[in-house]
Chain A
Amino acid sequence: MAAFKVLYVSHNHAAVRPGGLEFCVQDLYEAAKQRGEFEPVLLARTGPPYAQVTRADTSSPFALVGADPNQYLFYNHVARDLSNYDALFGRSADKDDLTRAYAEFLMGHRPDIVHFHHTLFLGYDMLRATRNALPDAPIVYSLHDYIPICHRDGQMVRTMHNELCDEESPRRCHECFPNISPQTFYMRKRFIQSQLELVDRFVAPSEYVAERYVDWGIPSAKIVVQPHSRPPMETTADDFELEDDIRSRNRFAYFGQLSPYKGADVLLEAMDLLGSGFDGELWIFGGNLEIQNPVFRERFEALLGADRGNVKFLGPYERGAIPKLMARIDWVVVPSIWWETGPITVWEAFQNGRPVISSDIGGMSEKVVHGVNGLHFRTGDPHDLAKTIERAAGTPGLWEQLHARVPRRPAHSVEEDLAMTTTIYRELLERRDGVDGDRRLEAVESA
């Protein structure tokens, strides 16, 4: 029998709309269930923009995902109407889905620990509701992006010219959003921090993310860095390499969402600079262009539509098809213009033995080591990217040299991730049950 129970809370379920973060949570949940050291319960909010609500308003706010009695969907107020959600402050005006429905859920399951993977469309005040219902249960909060810090989709990229931002302040945020006053941004920060104050442990996927949050005001003692885990790949590109595939290593590929922050447009501009005389190809795998803002979509479609001869657009791909696709290409380009927290594409490339050409910032530059397992270029600069691609394609032996030093295993597997997380849980529970009975970590830590 499991020693304790952990509730995972997330903003979306992988079964509703798949995404990198959703898979991470799902993998962790499945692994925990398998291992049996604690009993996991998963509560994922659903509704727009991820799914149309199909349940009548009068029915239960919770629904089971499938046959598993411990996986739930949560239809909060925002599920009925997305406009109920105040995206600036991260809250909704109606609280009774938190103070009644969610509180009842907590009282019914009585988790020992509540671990939040995201509060988007749920509201930061869900932390307060958790603390009210379970005064002694430690709260863990994973920092997957910068939404608490940055109103621009949590990207920390400024609205003017997509300049990178590494320092928020009410004044600077107001510069990005002139219609929102500095005082309002200050209130936003105060509100979010007043809720995050209730968190006992933050989990950041990279040092860089942790630093940003410490700068923003979270005590560094409360943050642990734990990179995202990756499940092992049963097959990798190695299994699909052809023995006789002796070719120049000049095929570059982009994998991922076609969102403005991911920089696929920078990559296409670089290809334009290289011109049709360039001896190499770019393959683009990606989707979700249809949900992007129209300005970006039109610009990107125009870029894609240009006749270059050496760019192929191959559309969305299945997670399981990655090894096979990676076998056909040589380099993976990760040109994001935002910081990224723990870019999954980098790990997928590494697992398949592909060196990565990445932007030289944030979570990407932390994993891709220039000249060791990949190459950096100046973020958002198509000229530098073109030069880097040219160098990668035109330097004999470079691919082999970098390929040999690619870490084929992620920093840790899901099992290791789970083990590390379990350690955090145990430590928190020990403190909760400590002699003085004080669950407040600051008190323990300063003692």
Chain B
Amino acid sequence: MLEQHGAEAGGMANGRPQVTIEHAAWLGPSALVLAGSLQGSTPIVRAGDERRHPDARLLEVDGTELLIFTLPGLEQLLGGEGVLELNVGDAAVDLSAKDLSAAVTDLQTLVRRSLASYDPPERNRVTEFLAATLDSVPRRERAALSPRLNAAREALRERLPACVISENQPRGLHLDQVLAVDDRSFYLEGWLHDEDMSVTRVTAVSPEGSRAELLERMYRTARPDVATFFSSHTDAPRTKHGFHCFIELGAPSLAGEGWLLEMETVDGDAVEVSGPPVTRDTIAVRDTILRDPHHDRLPDEELMADHVYPAISRIQRQVGEGKVERLVQFGTPPTRADVSIVVPVYKRLDHLEMQLSEFVSDPEISQADLIYVLDSPEQEDEFLDRAAQLTPLYQVPFRVAVLERNVGFAGANNAGASIAEGRLLLLLNSDILPDRPGWLSRMREFYDSVPHIGALGVKLLFEDDSIQHAGMYFYQPPGSSVWQDAHYFKGMHRSLPAANVARSVPLVSGACMMIDRTLYQHLGGLRKIFVRGDYEDSDLCLQLTESGRENWYLSDVELYHLEGQSYSATPEQSSDRSLANRYNMWVHSHIWRDRIEEIMRERRRMDSEASPQPAD
């Protein structure tokens, strides 16, 4: 029996249905929950002449109604002159602050008294209903709400026996990682042992009580360690015990710990396991997820499309645009620059002197709008100091744009382009050194001479005079559904006649790419859907092709590209890079597959027409 000490409002006048509030509880300064017999009422808050409609949700559980409504500053309003009006059909009843205070209790008491006697599935519905409040309260109130919701979940949930992990057990479940992708998306990793295939349900429960079903969605991977552990009791060592699963909850989850997994069998036996603390560091989350596709030789379509891609693309979206926080001019700027050279700098500050000590002997560079974009803003002081030291020595004018935060290769180039003044844009890596002066005007003249040109690339060389870049095409490795970028004539000597012809190519490298600035900005620049600077150039070239432009390779401009110098090459970092590469390759292929296939068909047709026919 629930104790009746609620406020009765409105009485029985005019045969109106009676609204009975058994309990009320504040979920925060802006959210109130009412429990009782509410007749499906809609709340309105009146303050003076103003009538305000709070965001309201109603749930009925076996006769008890729950009404949650949120309005910024609700508690303050109702504590002052505000009056709460509950509308049922055409009728309305008023609740004063005094009426309300008689019913107000804390959330845990409310759920225990009003709801604890219901069946577990009903209680789970209530928990999820409460958790959704995180969506409607002002952001600043969410952190305080989260532990209240967790306490309510604890009060309402059915406690299951803990899952015992033992080699003698036919079943086992473990949650290794809870990776926060954003507020409501999570990436879970763990393992599931189900010897007799009797498991019918695996559910993840957030600390606030949101639930997500995993069993049908999870991607299974091999876990040799788990397989070995259970090997004495199973004949199937090839069973894939591991799982990865991207989930999107019905409501945000902010708590740092308190995740649960529930497992139920066909016989109705259920157990639960607690999860580890949530990993929220974006880089750690991203790198852990990127490591997953690496278990297989080639990216698995299901893993990528259903789990990795939804997670990583959400993370990339959070990276956002690079905002130029500080712009500093060094030396005397040229009066009117036709070309803006945008050079992103990440960590390797020493490249600045490398380029300036070469640019000093080419007067054309001093006539250009040279912009160094610092994408590792924590190095601002050091970089600006270096720039100041180098300016009197090399006397090449340039600007330094310090970004508000690290945004990666695409974001840094776009930020540089946003402040560029030249008619043409040259995207240039910081590890590129010219072979001889005069290259910039040659590129400009060529760009201006080709109608419908999109992006222009040039010959890039390794330090041993072999070719690093002479234009690029697409390639599909045997057995793979994924298209990759491939370089024409890579590793061959710079004098190779075939590489010494200017021609249109499917794509050119973003390490040194000239493009009309208006065109670049019209397309929105480089897209930030790729991780750590890769495939953006290809993506841009494909967009250019799509819009009817042609990308060109110019052979008589030669620059050294000391590739691999932009990144410090600890084994860990280079392996992370290769993980990102695998992801980028898949995304790129996922987006552009049809277009790429069309381009490569056309190339093959052109090539076969160009090559001499075999004699009879």
Contacts and interface: CB of A to CB of B under 8 A. Distances in A.
B464 A171 contact: yes
28 contacts: A94-B389, A95-B390, A96-B392, A98-B393, A99-B393, A100-B392, A125-B393, A128-B360, A128-B394, A132-B392, A169-B464, A181-B564, A181-B569, A182-B464, A183-B431, A183-B463, A183-B563, A183-B565, A185-B463, A186-B463, A187-B354, A187-B562, A187-B565, A190-B354, A190-B358, A191-B353, A191-B354, A191-B357
Contact of B463 (A91, A98, A182): A182
B386 interface: yes
B505 interface: no
B284 to A, nearest CB: 27
B578 interface: no
Interface of A: 91, 93-96, 98-100, 125, 128-129, 132, 169-171, 181-187, 190-191, 194-195, 197
B562 A132 contact: no
Q: Give the one of B357, B392, B560, B564 with max A CB within 10 A.
A: B357
Nearest to B382: A93
Interface string B557-578: 0001011110001000000000
B393 A129 contact: yes
Given A181-B564, A186-B562, A194 B357 contact: yes
Interface in B543-595: 560, 562-565, 569
Nearest to A86: B350
B361 interface: yes
A132 B396 CA distance: 12
Given A186-B562, A187-B562, A194-B358, A95 B393 contact: yes
B389 A93 contact: yes
Contact of A125 (B357, B431, B433): B357
Given A181-B564, A182-B463, A187-B354, A95 B389 contact: yes
A183 B562 contact: yes
B353 A91 contact: yes
Interface size class of B (residues with CB under 8 A): 20 to 34
Interface of B: 353-354, 357-358, 360-361, 386, 389-390, 392-395, 431, 433, 463-464, 560, 562-565, 569
A7 B464 CA distance: 38
Q: What does DSSP make chain A's interface, helix, strand, loop or mixed?
A: helix
Given A95-B389, A184-B562, A190-B358, 8 more contacts: A99-B389, A125-B357, A128-B393, A128-B394, A129-B393, A132-B393, A183-B564, A190-B357
Nearest to A174: B463
A194 B353 CA distance: 11
B393 A181 contact: no
Contacts of B565: 181, 183-184, 187
Contacts of A197: 361
Contacts of A190: 354, 357-358, 433, 560
Nearest to A169: B464
Contacts of B463: 170, 182-183, 185-186
Nearest to B354: A187
A195 B358 CA distance: 9
Contacts of B569: 181
A96 B569 CA distance: 32
A170 B358 contact: no
Nearest to B349: A93
A129 B357 CA distance: 12
Contacts of A128: 357, 360, 393-394
B433 A93 contact: no
Contact of A132 (B354, B361, B395, B464): B395
A96 B392 CA distance: 8
Nearest to B562: A183
A91 to B, nearest CB: 7
Contacts of A91: 353
Contacts of A99: 389, 392-393
Nearest to A195: B357
Q: Give the one of A91, A93, A197 with max B CB within 10 A.
A: A93
A194 B360 CA distance: 9
Nearest to B392: A99
Contact of A194 (B361, B560, B563): B361
A96 B395 CA distance: 13
A320 B386 CA distance: 48
A282 B389 CA distance: 54
Nearest to A182: B463
A184 B569 CA distance: 12
Q: Which 5 pairs between the two chains have the least Cβ-Cβ distance?
A: A186-B463, A183-B562, A99-B392, A95-B389, A194-B357
B561 to A, nearest CB: 9
Nearest to A170: B463
A224 B520 CA distance: 53
Q: Give the one of B361, B463, B563 with max A CB within 10 A.
A: B463
A129 B390 CA distance: 11
Contacts of A183: 431, 463, 562-565
A99 B392 CA distance: 6
Contacts of A186: 463, 560, 562
A29 to B, nearest CB: 28
A132 B354 CA distance: 18
Contacts of B394: 128
A307 to B, nearest CB: 49
A188 to B, nearest CB: 10
B492 to A, nearest CB: 17
Contacts of B357: 125, 128, 190-191, 194-195
B354 A96 contact: no
Contacts of A96: 389, 392
Nearest to B395: A132
B581 to A, nearest CB: 19
Contacts of B354: 187, 190-191
B389 A170 contact: no
A99 B560 CA distance: 29
Contacts of B562: 183-184, 186-187
A187 B393 contact: no
Nearest to A189: B463
A328 to B, nearest CB: 53
A87 to B, nearest CB: 14
Given A170-B463, A194-B357, A187 B433 contact: yes
Nearest to B560: A186
A389 B560 CA distance: 52
B433 A95 contact: no
B389 to A, nearest CB: 4
Contacts of A182: 463-464
Contacts of A98: 393
B93 to A, nearest CB: 76
A210 to B, nearest CB: 24
A190 B431 CA distance: 12
A410 B562 CA distance: 47
A190 B433 CA distance: 9
B416 to A, nearest CB: 23
A327 to B, nearest CB: 53
Contacts of B431: 183
A194 B394 CA distance: 11
Contacts of B392: 95-96, 99-100, 132
A54 to B, nearest CB: 26
B349 to A, nearest CB: 9
A194 B436 CA distance: 11
A65 to B, nearest CB: 27
Contacts of A181: 564-565, 569
B97 to A, nearest CB: 67
A100 B569 CA distance: 36
A187 B564 CA distance: 13
A128 B463 CA distance: 24
Nearest to A98: B393
A195 to B, nearest CB: 7
A170 B466 CA distance: 13
A182 B565 CA distance: 10
A318 to B, nearest CB: 42
A65 B555 CA distance: 57
Q: Give the one of A95, A96, A100 with max B CB within 10 A.
A: A95
